[in-house]
A and B are shown apart, each in its own frame.
Chain A
Amino acid sequence: MAHGHKIELKQEFFSGNKKATKFSLILIVLGLLLTIIGIATAPKTHPSNEGASSEEHHHVAADNNTPRLNYYGDHQVNHPLPPPIPEDAGAHKPWYSRVYANILTNSYFFVLVSCLALFFWALQYIANAGWTTVFKRVIESVVAFLPIASIILILILIIGKSDLYHWAHYEHEALKPGEPGYDKILSGKSWFLNSSFFIGGIIIIPLVWFLIGKKLSSLSVREDAEGGLTPFKKSIRWSAAFTVFFIFSISVLSWLVIMSVDAHWYSTIFSVYNFATGFVAALCAITLIVLYLKSIGHLNLVTDEHIHDLGKFIFAFSIFWGYIWISQFLLIWYAHIPEEVYYYQVRLMDQWKPYFYINIVINFVIPFFVLMTRDAKRNPKLLGWIAVILLFGHWIDVYLMVMPGTIGSLAQFGMLEIGMLLLFTGTFIYLTLLSLTKRALVPINHPYLEESAHHDVGV
Chain B
Amino acid sequence: MNDKKLSLRNNKKVLFGIFEDGDSALEATQTVFNRGVNIIDCYSPYPIHGMEKAMGLKRSRLPIGAFVCAMTGLSLAIILQAGIMYFDWPMIIGGKPYAGIPSWIPVMFELSILCTAFGIAILFFARSGMIHGKIANEIIDPRQTSDRIVLAMSLDEAGINTDELVKLLSDKGAVEIRQRVNLDNNEFEDNVIK
Contact = CB atoms under 8 A, between A and B. Distances in A.
B95 interface: yes
Contact of B50 (A1, A329, A374): A1
Interface stretch (B53-61, B118-126, B177-185): B53-61
Interface in B11-70: 23, 26-27, 30, 49-50, 52-54, 57-60, 63, 67
B50 A2 contact: yes
Interface stretch (A139-147, A155-163, A330-338): A330-338
A326 B50 contact: no
Main secondary structure of the interface of B (DSSP, over half): helix
Contacts of A2: 50
Given A333-B102, A336-B95, A374-B63, A458 B30 contact: no
A340 B60 CA distance: 47
Nearest to B70: A372
Interface in B91-115: 94-96, 102-103, 105-106
Contact of A458 (B26, B52, B95): B52
Contact of A456 (B49, B58, B63, B103): B49
Contacts of B53: 1, 3, 458-459
B131 to A, nearest CB: 25
B94 A336 contact: yes
B102 A329 contact: yes
A334 B59 contact: no
Given A333-B102, A456-B49, A3 B59 contact: no
B61 to A, nearest CB: 12
Given A456-B49, A458-B52, A459-B53, A4 B30 contact: yes
Contacts of B54: 1
Interface in A293-317: none
A335 B49 CA distance: 51
A1 B59 CA distance: 15
A1 B94 contact: no
A459 B52 contact: yes
Given A334-B96, A372-B67, A459-B59, A3 B50 contact: yes
A326 B52 CA distance: 39
B102 A326 contact: yes
Contact of A1 (B30, B58, B96, B103): B30
Interface string B53-90: 11001111001000100000000000000000000000
Contacts of B102: 326, 329-330, 333-334
B57 A459 contact: yes
A191 B108 CA distance: 42
Contacts of A3: 26, 49-50, 53
Interface string A1-15: 111100000000000
A456 B53 CA distance: 11
A329 B57 CA distance: 45
B148 to A, nearest CB: 20
Contacts of A335: 94
A181 to B, nearest CB: 31
A459 B1 CA distance: 14
A2 B26 CA distance: 12
A4 B95 contact: no
Contacts of B49: 3, 456, 458
A334 B103 contact: yes
A329 B102 CA distance: 9
- Of B26, B27, B53, B94, most buried by chain A (CB within 10 Å of CB) is B53
Contacts of A334: 94, 96, 102-103
B50 A456 contact: yes
Contacts of B58: 459
A326 B105 contact: yes
B106 A330 contact: yes
A378 B30 CA distance: 25
Interface string A364-388: 0000000011100000000000000
A373 B49 CA distance: 22
Contacts of B59: 374, 459
A459 B105 CA distance: 33
A459 B59 CA distance: 6
A330 B103 contact: yes
Interface of A: 1-4, 326, 329-330, 333-336, 372-374, 456, 458-459
27 contacts: A1-B30, A1-B53, A2-B50, A3-B26, A3-B49, A3-B50, A3-B53, A4-B23, A4-B26, A4-B27, A326-B105, A329-B102, A330-B105, A334-B96, A334-B102, A335-B94, A374-B59, A374-B63, A458-B49, A458-B50, A458-B52, A458-B53, A459-B52, A459-B53, A459-B57, A459-B58, A459-B59
Given A326-B102, A459-B57, 4 more contacts: A1-B54, A4-B26, A333-B102, A459-B60
Interface of B: 23, 26-27, 30, 49-50, 52-54, 57-60, 63, 67, 94-96, 102-103, 105-106
**Closest 10 pairs (CB-CB, A-B):** A3-B50, A459-B52, A330-B102, A3-B49, A459-B59, A333-B102, A326-B105, A1-B53, A334-B94, A459-B57
